[in-house]
Amino acid sequence: MNFLDAATEAIRDAGGRFTNQRRIVVELMAGSEDHFDAEELYHRAHAQDESISLATVYRTLHALEDAGLIDQHYLTRDHDRKVYEPAGEAEHYHFTCRQCHRVIEFQADEIDLLRQGLESAYGVRVDRVCMCLDGLCAECRSSGEIG
């Protein structure tokens, strides 16, 4: 099932209404690559329908997050802005270049190990792992380092 249909169904299953605004926002998400943030979605939605408000974008993001259709992350250590991405992909993490802001996604078995280690060492149950890395990507390293 594609993202739009899944979203339609999830929203209706939750007793919600699949409004025109939500349809526009959801379609934009489905057509997005990797990550999107609220403002980005808002600009694009607004271009299609001037009446769409930022509040509606946020409310739609929340509805889909509650439905488990998208996940929220931060990409930078300073956590200045939330980004979202479709849920259900394999667990992965992000590295952001401090210079060109490119994002590299990667998987990390190390985190599973860490998780297990913590569960057995401390008896905790680890629910969520937030990990943001930054530094310089290969290209930016070779063309005049900063920092």
Question: Where along the sequence are the contacts to DNA (CB under 7 A)?
Answer: 11-12, 15-22, 37-39, 49, 51-56, 58-63, 80-82
Out of 43, 62, 77, 92, the residue judged to bind a second copy by CB under 8 A: 77
Cα 39 from Cα 35, distance rounded (Å): 12
Distance of alpha carbon 56 from alpha carbon 103, whole angstroms: 27
CB 130 within 8 A of CB 91: no
- Beta carbon of residue 6, minimum distance to a second copy (angstroms, whole number): 24
**Residue of 12, 43, 92, 141 interacting with a second copy (CB under 8 A):** 141
SS3 assignment, position 49:
coil
What span, in angstroms and rounded, lies between the C-alpha atoms of 1 and 7? 10
| Chain residues in the site for a second copy (CB under 8 A) | 74, 77, 79, 95, 97-98, 104, 106, 108, 110-111, 113-115, 117-118, 121-138, 141, 147
